Amino acid sequence: MTPHAIVTGSTSGIGAATARALTAAGLRVLVTGRDESRGDALAAELGTTFLPSDLTGSPDELRVFAAAATAALDGRVDVLVHNAAVCPAVDTVTLTDTDLDAALAVNVRAPHVLTAALAPAMAERGSGAIVVVGSWMAHVGHPFVGLYSATKAAEIQLARSWAAEFGPRGVRVNTVSPGATRTPINDADDAVVTAMTARTPAGRPGRPEEVAAAIAWVCSDAAGYLHGAEIAVDGGITTTSLG
Protein backbone atom coordinates (compact mmCIF):
# COMPACT_ATOMS: atom_id res chain seq x y z
CA MET A 1 0.00 0.00 0.00
CA THR A 2 1.29 3.47 -0.90
CA PRO A 3 2.06 5.46 2.26
CA HIS A 4 0.21 8.76 2.61
CA ALA A 5 1.86 11.92 3.93
CA ILE A 6 0.96 15.42 5.06
CA VAL A 7 3.65 18.11 4.91
CA THR A 8 2.55 21.37 6.51
CA GLY A 9 3.72 24.55 4.85
CA SER A 10 4.61 22.65 1.70
CA THR A 11 3.98 25.32 -0.93
CA SER A 12 7.59 26.58 -0.93
CA GLY A 13 11.05 26.20 0.57
CA ILE A 14 11.87 23.16 2.69
CA GLY A 15 8.24 22.06 2.69
CA ALA A 16 7.99 21.97 -1.10
CA ALA A 17 11.35 20.20 -1.35
CA THR A 18 10.12 17.65 1.20
CA ALA A 19 6.90 17.07 -0.73
CA ARG A 20 8.99 16.40 -3.84
CA ALA A 21 11.40 14.10 -2.00
CA LEU A 22 8.64 12.05 -0.41
CA THR A 23 6.81 11.78 -3.71
CA ALA A 24 10.02 10.58 -5.38
CA ALA A 25 10.30 7.98 -2.61
CA GLY A 26 6.89 6.61 -3.55
CA LEU A 27 4.60 8.37 -1.06
CA ARG A 28 1.37 10.15 -1.87
CA VAL A 29 1.77 13.63 -0.42
CA LEU A 30 -0.95 16.12 0.44
CA VAL A 31 0.33 19.64 -0.25
CA THR A 32 -0.88 22.20 2.29
CA GLY A 33 -0.36 25.88 2.99
CA ARG A 34 -1.86 29.32 2.59
CA ASP A 35 -0.70 30.19 -0.94
CA GLU A 36 -3.26 28.60 -3.24
CA SER A 37 -1.49 29.44 -6.51
CA ARG A 38 1.79 27.87 -5.40
CA GLY A 39 -0.05 24.99 -3.80
CA ASP A 40 -2.05 24.21 -6.90
CA ALA A 41 1.09 24.41 -9.05
CA LEU A 42 3.06 22.03 -6.84
CA ALA A 43 0.14 19.62 -6.54
CA ALA A 44 -0.16 19.55 -10.34
CA GLU A 45 3.58 18.91 -10.62
CA LEU A 46 3.41 16.01 -8.18
CA GLY A 47 0.10 14.62 -9.37
CA THR A 48 -1.55 15.08 -6.02
CA THR A 49 -3.97 17.34 -4.14
CA PHE A 50 -3.61 20.76 -2.54
CA LEU A 51 -5.56 21.53 0.62
CA PRO A 52 -5.45 25.14 1.91
CA SER A 53 -4.61 25.54 5.58
CA ASP A 54 -4.29 28.32 8.13
CA LEU A 55 -2.35 27.03 11.10
CA THR A 56 -3.07 30.15 13.13
CA GLY A 57 -6.64 28.89 13.51
CA SER A 58 -8.26 27.71 16.70
CA PRO A 59 -7.75 24.15 17.94
CA ASP A 60 -11.18 23.21 16.63
CA GLU A 61 -10.32 24.65 13.20
CA LEU A 62 -7.08 22.66 13.22
CA ARG A 63 -9.02 19.50 14.01
CA VAL A 64 -11.33 20.23 11.08
CA PHE A 65 -8.26 20.59 8.88
CA ALA A 66 -6.85 17.28 10.17
CA ALA A 67 -10.11 15.54 9.33
CA ALA A 68 -10.23 17.12 5.87
CA ALA A 69 -6.61 16.17 5.21
CA THR A 70 -7.29 12.59 6.27
CA ALA A 71 -10.31 12.45 3.99
CA ALA A 72 -8.27 13.86 1.09
CA LEU A 73 -5.83 10.98 1.62
CA ASP A 74 -8.62 8.39 1.53
CA GLY A 75 -8.79 8.06 5.30
CA ARG A 76 -5.17 7.20 6.02
CA VAL A 77 -2.19 9.32 7.12
CA ASP A 78 1.07 7.42 7.56
CA VAL A 79 3.54 10.32 7.69
CA LEU A 80 3.15 13.78 9.23
CA VAL A 81 5.84 16.40 8.70
CA HIS A 82 5.55 19.50 10.87
CA ASN A 83 7.33 21.96 8.60
CA ALA A 84 5.28 25.18 8.70
CA ALA A 85 6.73 27.92 10.89
CA VAL A 86 6.54 31.63 11.58
CA CYS A 87 9.79 33.47 12.29
CA PRO A 88 9.41 37.11 13.35
CA ALA A 89 12.99 38.37 13.00
CA VAL A 90 12.83 41.10 15.61
CA ASP A 91 14.04 41.61 19.15
CA THR A 92 11.92 41.11 22.25
CA VAL A 93 10.92 44.73 22.66
CA THR A 94 9.95 45.18 19.01
CA LEU A 95 7.93 41.97 18.72
CA THR A 96 4.23 42.74 18.23
CA ASP A 97 1.44 40.93 20.02
CA THR A 98 0.16 39.74 16.65
CA ASP A 99 3.50 38.16 15.73
CA LEU A 100 3.81 36.67 19.20
CA ASP A 101 0.43 34.97 18.88
CA ALA A 102 1.13 33.77 15.34
CA ALA A 103 4.49 32.22 16.21
CA LEU A 104 3.10 30.40 19.22
CA ALA A 105 0.09 29.22 17.22
CA VAL A 106 1.91 27.94 14.13
CA ASN A 107 5.12 26.69 15.73
CA VAL A 108 3.76 25.07 18.90
CA ARG A 109 -0.04 24.85 19.09
CA ALA A 110 -0.65 23.59 15.57
CA PRO A 111 1.90 20.73 15.75
CA HIS A 112 0.50 19.72 19.13
CA VAL A 113 -3.13 19.73 18.00
CA LEU A 114 -2.41 18.00 14.69
CA THR A 115 -0.32 15.31 16.36
CA ALA A 116 -3.08 14.71 18.89
CA ALA A 117 -5.58 14.45 16.04
CA LEU A 118 -3.56 12.23 13.70
CA ALA A 119 -1.15 10.11 15.75
CA PRO A 120 -3.77 7.91 17.46
CA ALA A 121 -4.86 6.35 14.15
CA MET A 122 -1.21 5.63 13.30
CA ALA A 123 -0.76 4.04 16.71
CA GLU A 124 -3.88 1.95 16.25
CA ARG A 125 -2.45 0.58 12.99
CA GLY A 126 0.92 0.08 14.67
CA SER A 127 2.96 2.16 12.23
CA GLY A 128 3.66 5.74 11.22
CA ALA A 129 6.26 8.47 11.23
CA ILE A 130 6.14 12.04 12.50
CA VAL A 131 8.93 14.49 11.76
CA VAL A 132 9.39 17.89 13.36
CA VAL A 133 11.41 20.39 11.36
CA GLY A 134 13.41 22.07 14.10
CA SER A 135 16.13 24.67 13.82
CA TRP A 136 19.74 25.19 14.79
CA MET A 137 18.55 28.37 16.49
CA ALA A 138 16.88 26.27 19.18
CA HIS A 139 20.37 25.62 20.56
CA VAL A 140 21.90 29.11 20.63
CA GLY A 141 20.94 32.53 21.92
CA HIS A 142 20.21 35.11 19.24
CA PRO A 143 19.29 38.77 19.74
CA PHE A 144 16.66 38.95 16.98
CA VAL A 145 14.80 35.65 16.92
CA GLY A 146 14.43 34.77 20.57
CA LEU A 147 10.77 33.79 20.34
CA TYR A 148 11.28 31.70 17.21
CA SER A 149 14.22 29.92 18.86
CA ALA A 150 12.13 29.22 21.95
CA THR A 151 9.23 27.83 19.93
CA LYS A 152 11.57 25.54 18.01
CA ALA A 153 13.12 24.32 21.26
CA ALA A 154 9.61 23.59 22.52
CA GLU A 155 8.73 21.72 19.33
CA ILE A 156 11.91 19.62 19.53
CA GLN A 157 11.04 18.69 23.10
CA LEU A 158 7.51 17.80 22.06
CA ALA A 159 9.01 15.44 19.46
CA ARG A 160 11.01 13.68 22.18
CA SER A 161 7.90 13.36 24.32
CA TRP A 162 5.84 12.09 21.39
CA ALA A 163 8.55 9.51 20.68
CA ALA A 164 8.12 8.21 24.22
CA GLU A 165 4.33 8.39 24.03
CA PHE A 166 3.68 6.88 20.61
CA GLY A 167 6.88 4.94 19.87
CA PRO A 168 5.85 1.84 21.82
CA ARG A 169 2.82 1.63 19.54
CA GLY A 170 4.81 1.80 16.32
CA VAL A 171 4.89 5.53 15.57
CA ARG A 172 8.40 6.89 15.17
CA VAL A 173 8.85 10.57 16.02
CA ASN A 174 12.06 12.46 15.24
CA THR A 175 13.39 15.93 14.46
CA VAL A 176 15.40 17.21 11.52
CA SER A 177 16.94 20.59 12.33
CA PRO A 178 18.18 22.70 9.42
CA GLY A 179 20.93 25.25 9.72
CA ALA A 180 20.91 28.56 7.86
CA THR A 181 19.16 27.47 4.68
CA ARG A 182 18.35 29.50 1.58
CA THR A 183 14.59 29.60 1.16
CA PRO A 184 12.13 32.12 -0.33
CA ILE A 185 11.43 33.44 3.16
CA ASN A 186 14.99 34.77 3.56
CA ASP A 187 15.75 35.85 -0.01
CA ALA A 188 16.04 39.45 1.12
CA ASP A 189 18.66 38.45 3.71
CA ASP A 190 20.94 36.50 1.40
CA ALA A 191 24.03 38.47 2.45
CA VAL A 192 23.31 37.79 6.12
CA VAL A 193 22.77 34.07 5.52
CA THR A 194 25.97 33.87 3.47
CA ALA A 195 27.99 35.61 6.17
CA MET A 196 26.43 33.46 8.89
CA THR A 197 27.59 30.27 7.21
CA ALA A 198 30.96 31.41 5.86
CA ARG A 199 32.83 30.14 8.92
CA THR A 200 31.10 26.76 9.15
CA PRO A 201 32.73 23.55 7.87
CA ALA A 202 30.31 23.57 4.93
CA GLY A 203 31.18 27.19 4.20
CA ARG A 204 27.82 27.96 2.62
CA PRO A 205 24.09 28.07 3.32
CA GLY A 206 22.08 24.89 3.09
CA ARG A 207 19.64 24.03 0.34
CA PRO A 208 16.05 22.95 0.94
CA GLU A 209 16.70 19.74 -0.98
CA GLU A 210 19.45 18.76 1.46
CA VAL A 211 17.10 19.06 4.41
CA ALA A 212 14.33 17.28 2.50
CA ALA A 213 16.62 14.34 1.76
CA ALA A 214 17.19 13.85 5.48
CA ILE A 215 13.46 14.09 6.21
CA ALA A 216 12.70 11.50 3.53
CA TRP A 217 15.25 9.13 5.05
CA VAL A 218 13.87 9.62 8.56
CA CYS A 219 10.41 8.73 7.26
CA SER A 220 11.66 5.61 5.48
CA ASP A 221 11.93 2.03 6.71
CA ALA A 222 15.71 2.44 6.59
CA ALA A 223 15.39 4.62 9.71
CA GLY A 224 13.24 2.08 11.52
CA TYR A 225 15.38 2.15 14.68
CA LEU A 226 15.39 5.94 14.93
CA HIS A 227 13.21 7.24 17.78
CA GLY A 228 13.32 10.61 19.53
CA ALA A 229 16.43 11.74 17.65
CA GLU A 230 17.41 15.17 16.39
CA ILE A 231 19.41 15.18 13.17
CA ALA A 232 21.21 18.44 12.50
CA VAL A 233 21.44 19.20 8.77
CA ASP A 234 23.22 22.46 9.43
CA GLY A 235 26.68 22.43 7.87
CA GLY A 236 28.20 22.11 11.33
CA ILE A 237 26.99 25.47 12.60
CA THR A 238 25.86 24.19 16.00
CA THR A 239 28.69 21.76 16.72
CA THR A 240 31.88 23.37 15.41
CA SER A 241 33.81 26.61 15.51
CA LEU A 242 36.44 27.66 13.01
CA GLY A 243 37.70 30.48 15.20
CA 170 to chain centre: 21
Q: How far is CA 146 from CA 34, 129, 136, in A?
A: 25, 29, 12
DSSP code for 220: S
Residue 120 to residues 36, 60, 81, 174, 218, Cα–Cα distance (Å): 29, 17, 16, 17, 20
Distance CA 170, CA 221 (A): 12
Nearest residue to 98 via CA among 108, 89, 88, 107:
88
Query: At a CB cut-off of 8 Å and minimum separation 6, what does 45 contact?
Result: 20
The neighbour count for residue 93, using CB atoms within 10 Å, is 5
Do the strands 171-178 and 128-133 form a parallel or antiparallel pair, or are they unpaired?
A: parallel
- Angle 146-166/97-104 helices, nearest 10 degrees? 20
AA identity, residue 201: P
Catalytic (active site) residue 148: yes
Catalytic-role residue among 50, 136, 148, 166: 148
Residue 30 in contact with residue 22, Cβ under 8 Å?
Answer: no
Q: Which residues have a catalytic role annotated? A: 148
